[in-house]
Every structure is written in structure tokens, then in C-alpha cells.
Structure 1
Amino acid sequence: MTTIPRLSDAQIEQFIQDGFVRIDEAFPRELAEEGLAILWRDTGCDPSDPKTWTRPVIRLGGYAQAPFSKAVNMPVLHTAFDQLIGRGRWAPRFSLGTFPVRFPSPEDPGDAGWHVDASYPGEDPTDFFSYRINVHSRERALLMLFLFSDVGEHDAPTRIRRGSHLDVARLLEPAGEAGLSFMELAGKLDMTARRPEALATGEKGTVYLCHPFLVHSAQPHHGTKPRFMAQPPLHLAEPFRLEREDSGYSPVEIAIKQGLRGRS
């Protein structure tokens, strides 16, 4: 019987303190190549002709074909989900949703602001900027970054503010169950600028599992090869709880509680 790799105690502690953990070879490169063929086709661009790469970013969405559904359901990821959220507390998913494909370009992509991904609809379900997030991370268990191309430091890797999820917990607490909208929270994130920055680099097949409160940002692409990365949420099967009689807190919950206590 094959032993499924598990996150080490050090990796779980890193997740709690930094807000993310990187898993190399989380899904096979062969799956990434199969997915790339589908994604390139849908961009309408020629992978061998940079003259066809005329926009800094092309957004592709709704990917549930086999390479994508298999990638998100690798045993190593399911095991990590159990460790970070709790067995039975997360909802299975079978797609990778949106791919913002970033191309080498001198143009500003127009979406490179620091933010936290919101989780549930606000007043207007059609307006993403009105989506909301609260201190219990309603509906969202994790932010996940799936690398379908090799991503170096010049290839528009997602920028991450280490430990910023702890600050965000404190920002959200006064808003209670109603939480804050995407834009309301984004307007408060200057306080996280002191946090050290990390880059979500890695070879295709790498996955970053991120705390749902982690502050992150896109950036312009200064490399030579387009970057293909999915950034789906993992949803909750049951709400996070910040008060448990049995003290059976998940690492996501522990990080929120540490943030609220002012530990950073």
C-alpha cells in the first residue's frame, strides 16, 4: 500500500504563522500538460508565437475537465485538507474554476492590488466587489493556488504577505457576522504592508494552500513565458468555530484565534 505524504508538524506551524504552505508535486506534471493544452486552446493564442500574446491577462473560467478535477482530488491534497481544516469539515470540489492567464507585457494588468478573496454574496450577487468575508470565514475553508506552468520570480508569481492573515482576523472581528465587503476590507489592508513578502513560485504541479484571510496580490509579468495558475477556494462543509468545548481546533481556526489575541 502506498503511503500518502502528510504535512509535517513544522509545515502546519508554518501555515498557522505565515498563512500558507507549499506542496511540491501535489499533482503530476502530466496532468498539468494535459490541462495546458486545453487552456492554450481557449486563450485563442499560439503558444509558439508571442506576437499573438496581445493582452497582459486573459481570464478563463469553469474548468472541470479531467485534468483539473483530478488535480484537485489528489490524495496528498485531501490529506492536507483533513489536516488543515478537519476531516468531514470541508466540501469536495471537482473543478478549478477561473484561470487568470498572465502574459509577458509592459502593460499594467489592472488587477494588481493587495486584497483578500471574499467568500459570499453581498447586496448584489452579480458584483464581485460587494462580496463579503467575516471573522468566521463564512463558506471558505482555504484559498488554493494551482500552478499549471513553471513559475519563476519574473513570471508574475502571486505576491503574498506572510502573516497578514493574523492582521485580517483583527480587522474583521469588529464587523461581526455581517463582515466586510471585498472593497471595505481592501481599504484597510495598508496595515499589513509591514509584513515580509513571499512569491508563489514553483514548478508545474505545485500547490499553495493558503489561509482564507491571507493578503495577496497579482503583479505584471516580466518574464518570457505565460503563467497559468488556478486560484479556487475550498469550501466548508460546516462552519468554522472559534469556541469548541473539546478544543478540537483546526489550524485555520487556531490562526484566527491567535490573530484575535494579537499574536503575530
Structure 2
Amino acid sequence: MGPALTQAQIQAFIQDGFVRVDQAFPRELADEGRAILWADTEFSPHNTATWLQPVIRLGNYSQTPFRQAVNSPRLVSAYDQLVGVGRWLPRTSLGTFPIRFPSPDDPGDAGWHIDMSFGTDSPNFMDWRANVTSTGRALLMLFLFSDVGPDDAPTRIRVGSHLTMAQLLAPAGEAGLSLRELAANNFDETAHCPEVTAVGDAGTVYLCHPFLVHGAQAHRGTRPRFMAQPPLLPSQPFQLDRPDGSYSPVEQAIRLGISGAVT
């Protein structure tokens, strides 16, 4: 197969902070994975009265459907294109699954944020950190294991917000900033960014820049939403001053943000 992403998609990733990959892994794997997840929820897929919480979180999954999904040939090609050949670590599992159920209740986790990438040994997640070279995280990834429409609690995305975040992180250097520091203004620095939602069929994956500002929302539909949000881990630190100029699209976006060329 050829490259997974076109040059236009790569440029859109640099400018917008994400790219949507349709049919990134087979629907059959999504169906198999969802069956495993349903069994662990202790809820019944056929009895809405058992759906007692607006959101539950299930831990790391390494069964065959999940391993095959995260390592599909199309996604491996896309990782190489966005992060760089040899610059990322293969995954053997998928991360936490926040499973969202139709509910009138506030899920309690719908604030804007970026995913932190180091300092996660602290028991208080507000102390977790991110820095301008994105130590510990190459990509944020959203794996849809169910069909997700506009009412099914799709993740909200602020388009281009990663560029603003690069500007904010740059003065802090390698030490970076904690989530507490970054969230001091509720990420209002990115409020001007257009908003889109991560909708799509099961098997769709959104590959996102690690600095992309995003948020959950309440579920107003009828079908539970199954999604994984694992990081892609780097095999080497990102570099923002490469003598040979061989910057990955992730690095190019950081450099673009730091330069102040933010729309």
C-alpha cells in the first residue's frame, strides 16, 4: 500500500492539529473489541435501565482486536508520516476507554484541556506536565470503537489550538507547565479557535497533535459511545533545531506555533 496520508492531509495536520483517518482499522475489530468492553462494563447492551452512569472508564486492553487495531498497516504508515520513521514506539495495547452513556447528568469531566505527557507519577493529575518538546507523547489518538454521531458525545476539538499552546509552552522550556498552570484561564487563550467534533463510523481514528485542546461533552443520543484515547509514545525526543532540517509534521507544527504565525 502507498502512504496513508496525502500531502494535503499532512499540511492540514500541521495547521489544524489533527487528521481524521476513515477506515483506519476494520469494523470487525471494532465489533470484537466492543463485545469485550461491554462484558467488562457489567451493564447490558440491551437494557438501558442498567446504564447507571454517564461515563465509566475501563483500563488498558491488549487483546487481539485492540492490538491489531492500533497496529493496522494504514495507521503504521500514518505514524511514520506524522512522527517520523523510527521516531515512535509500537503499541501493544490501547489506553483508557472512557465509555459514555446517554444521560441528562453532567459527566463531570467536560472541561477543555490538553493531555499531559510527563510527571504522571504524581497522584494529583493537576500536577502532571507538558513541555514544548512534548516529552513522553508523540500523538494524541482517538479510536472510535462505535459509530459516533453529533449527539453521541463526540470529543470536541479546537481547530488550530495546538499552535497557541506551543506559544504558551515555549517560554517554560524543558521543565514545561503543569495542567494546573495551563488550566488557570480555562484554556481561554484558545477560545477563538473554531470547534469541530470527532464524529465517524467505528474504525475511524483521529490522529492529533499532542498540544491539541479538546474536551468531552454530555451524551444526548441513544447509543453508548466507545472510544480509546491512547498516546503514541516517542522513541526519541522531538527536536526543534535539526541541522538537517528533517522536521516531522509534529515538530513543524510546534515551530509554526512558536514563530507566532497563529491565525
Range class of TM-score, shorter chain: over 0.9
Structure 1 counterpart of 2:205: 207
Structure 1: gaps of 5 or more residues: none
For residues 16-47 of structure 1, the C-alpha deviation after alignment (integer angstroms, 9 at most, x for no partner) is 00000000000000000000000000010000
Equivalent residue for 2:164, pick from 141, 154, 167:
167
Does 1:69 pair with 2:67? yes
Equivalent residue for 1:150, pick from 138, 147, 151:
147
Structure 2 counterpart of 1:222: 220
C-alpha distance in structure 1 between counterparts of 2:34 and 2:167, whole Å: 39
For residues 189-245 of structure 1, the C-alpha deviation after alignment (integer angstroms, 9 at most, x for no partner) is 101001000100000000000000000000000000000000000000000000000
What secondary structure sits across from 2:138 in the alignment?
strand
Structure 1 counterpart of 2:176: 179
Q: Which amino acid aligns with 2:190?
A: T
C-alpha distance in structure 1 between counterparts of 2:251 and 2:197, whole Å: 24
Q: Go from structure 1 to structure 2 and tell me whether the alpha carbon gap of 1:46 and 1:4 turns closer, same or farther (over 3 Å shift).
A: farther
C-alpha distance in structure 2 between counterparts of 1:26 and 1:4, whole Å: 14
Shift of 1:5: 4.5
What secondary structure sits across from 2:29 in the alignment?
helix
What secondary structure sits across from 1:187 in the alignment?
helix
Shift of 1:77: 0.5
What secondary structure sits across from 2:239 in the alignment?
coil
Structure 1 counterpart of 2:236: 238
Does the 8 Å contact 1:91/1:237 carry over to 2?
yes
C-alpha distance in structure 1 between counterparts of 2:21 and 2:184, whole Å: 31
C-alpha distance in structure 2 between counterparts of 1:94 and 1:201, whole Å: 25
User: How many positions carry a matched residue from both structures?
Assistant: 261
Shift of 1:140: 0.4
What secondary structure sits across from 1:83 in the alignment?
helix
Q: Which amino acid aligns with 1:45?
A: F
Shift of 1:126: 2.5
C-alpha distance in structure 2 between counterparts of 1:174 and 1:234, whole Å: 25
Q: Which amino acid aligns with 2:19?
A: V
Structure 1 counterpart of 2:249: 251
C-alpha distance in structure 1 between counterparts of 2:48 and 2:126, whole Å: 33
Structure 2: gaps of 5 or more residues: none
Q: Which amino acid aligns with 2:55?
A: V
C-alpha distance in structure 1 between counterparts of 2:2 and 2:39, whole Å: 34
Structure 2 counterpart of 1:102: 100
C-alpha distance in structure 1 between counterparts of 2:126 and 2:189, whole Å: 20
What secondary structure sits across from 2:260 in the alignment?
coil
C-alpha distance in structure 2 between counterparts of 1:182 and 1:92, whole Å: 27
Structure 1 counterpart of 2:29: 31
Does the 8 Å contact 1:104/1:226 carry over to 2?
yes
Does the 8 Å contact 1:116/1:186 carry over to 2?
no
Q: What TM-score comes out, normalization by structure 2 length? A: 0.97
C-alpha distance in structure 2 between counterparts of 1:37 and 1:100, whole Å: 15
Does the 8 Å contact 1:64/1:97 carry over to 2?
no
For residues 113-171 of structure 1, the C-alpha deviation after alignment (integer angstroms, 9 at most, x for no partner) is 0000000116x533222110000000100000000000000000000000000000011
Does 1:8 pair with 2:23? no
Structure 2 counterpart of 1:43: 41
Q: Which amino acid aligns with 1:184?
A: E
* Cα-Cα RMSD: 0.9
Q: What TM-score comes out, normalization by structure 1 length? A: 0.97
